[in-house]
């Protein structure tokens, strides 16, 4: 498939610039949606990169009809007599068999591999009403990898042409490199989101839910799960007395002057800590 040659053959009629011959087309909804998060639209479909006119392109997903559906369509066409009814029926049929997405950077098109090792194209569903809704095209394993890369590059070139009003064949190499890097970032971000959804029952998420449901608004100790070594203090304990003696480990290279400098920054009352260090212990530490 010669992509550049296809871009040079611009004509008055829409034309297909690149094709993925077989794949599954799905709708991906946000986890906030009351509907199912994944809905299969077409089990078998063809993906087109279509040129509408100069500087105008679209991604088209077209349903692959089986023999029974083709027979029914032919029969329905024969029944169409009135021109108005025929036109409405054709529009309805096209909508049922085909989804078309105008190409722009708003699609945020990217490629990734799913958990089954399948190559997937994902982009924003700008035709939908729900926020954060996406669609995915799972490419059949029979499709050649070169055809997949050619199609993806074609999307990038069409984005460039739409944005800068130049021919796709004039797309700069730097733009293609940066766009591929952005695609990888989008794929990584979605993988993190999927991982987060699968980890809703992790210890960290459980602690977060415990904090949000805590009626006293006390701080939950997350050190056990996050690996933090800092002490998280419960507000109810702020007025409790500190023990008379707290042992600290200093090591053989403990620098009293540097330690005092650090304390001066953290302790506006300028308590002379160096005078109270004896046998690696702090005595009579003042109450808060």
pLDDT tens column, 120-134: 999 999 998 888 899
Question: Which pLDDT belongs to residue 1?
Answer: 52
Query: What single DSSP character describes residue 144?
Result: -
Q: How far apart are the C-alpha atoms of 72 and 188, rounded to whole Å?
A: 44
Q: How far apart are the C-alpha atoms of 275 and 260, rounded to whole Å?
A: 10
Query: Nearest to residue 15, comparing CAs of 120, 158, 175?
Result: 158
Q: How far apart are the C-alpha atoms of 248 and 14, rounded to whole Å?
A: 77
Q: How many CB atoms lie within 10 A of CB 148?
A: 17
**By percentage, how much of the chain surpasses pLDDT 70?**
54
Q: How far apart are the C-alpha atoms of 239 and 79, rounded to whole Å?
A: 86
Question: Which pLDDT belongs to residue 205?
Answer: 56
Question: Which pLDDT belongs to residue 226?
Answer: 42
CA 113 to chain centre: 13
pTM, 2 dp = 0.62
The residue that leads in pLDDT, 7 or 112, is 112
Please say if the pLDDT value at position 35 is more than 70: yes
CB 111 within 8 A of CB 120: yes
Task: Map tokens 């004509």 to a residue.
Answer: 11
Averaged pLDDT of the chain: 73
Which parts of 98-172 fold into alpha helices (H)?
145-164
Q: How far apart are the C-alpha atoms of 137 and 20, rounded to whole Å?
A: 10
Q: How far apart are the C-alpha atoms of 146 and 224, rounded to whole Å?
A: 48
Q: How far is CA 79 from CA 29, 86, 87, 89, in A?
A: 38, 9, 13, 11
What are the chain's domains?
3-198 (2.30.29.30), 241-288 (no CATH)
CB 86 within 8 A of CB 44: no
Beta strands 110-113 and 119-124 are: antiparallel
Query: What single DSSP character describes residue 202?
Result: S
3-class SS of residue 245: strand
């Amino acid at each position: 498939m010669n992509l550049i040659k296809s871009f040079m053959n611009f004509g008055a009629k829409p034309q297909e610039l690149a094709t993925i011959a077989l794949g599954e087309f799905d709708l991906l909804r946000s986890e906030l949606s009351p509907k199912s998060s994944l809905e299969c639209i077409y089990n078998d479909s063809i993906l087109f990169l279509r040129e509408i006119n100069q500087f105008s392109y679209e991604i088209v997903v077209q349903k692959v009809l089986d023999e029974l559906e083709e027979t029914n369509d032919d029969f329905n066409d024969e029944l169409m007599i009135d021109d108005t009814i025929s036109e409405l029926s054709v529009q309805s049929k096209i909508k049922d068999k085909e989804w078309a997405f105008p190409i722009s950077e708003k699609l945020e098109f990217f490629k990734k591999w799913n958990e089954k090792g399948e190559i997937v194209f994902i982009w924003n569903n700008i035709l939908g009403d729900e926020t954060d809704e996406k669609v995915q095209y799972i490419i059949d394993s029979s499709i050649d990898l070169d055809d997949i890369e050619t199609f993806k590059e074609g999307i990038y070139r069409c984005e460039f042409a739409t944005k800068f009003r130049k021919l796709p064949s004039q797309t700069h190499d730097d733009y293609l490199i940066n766009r591929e890097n952005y695609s990888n970032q989008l794929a990584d971000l979605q993988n993190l989101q999927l991982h987060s959804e699968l980890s809703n029952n992790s210890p960290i998420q459980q602690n977060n839910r415990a904090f949000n449901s805590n009626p006293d608004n006390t701080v939950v100790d997350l050190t056990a799960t996050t690996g933090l070594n800092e002490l998280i203090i419960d507000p109810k304990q702020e007025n409790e007395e500190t023990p008379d003696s707290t042992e600290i480990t200093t090591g053989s290279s403990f620098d009293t002057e540097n330690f005092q400098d650090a304390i001066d920054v953290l302790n506006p009352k300028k308590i002379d800590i160096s005078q109270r260090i004896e046998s690696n212990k702090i005595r009579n530490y003042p109450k808060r």
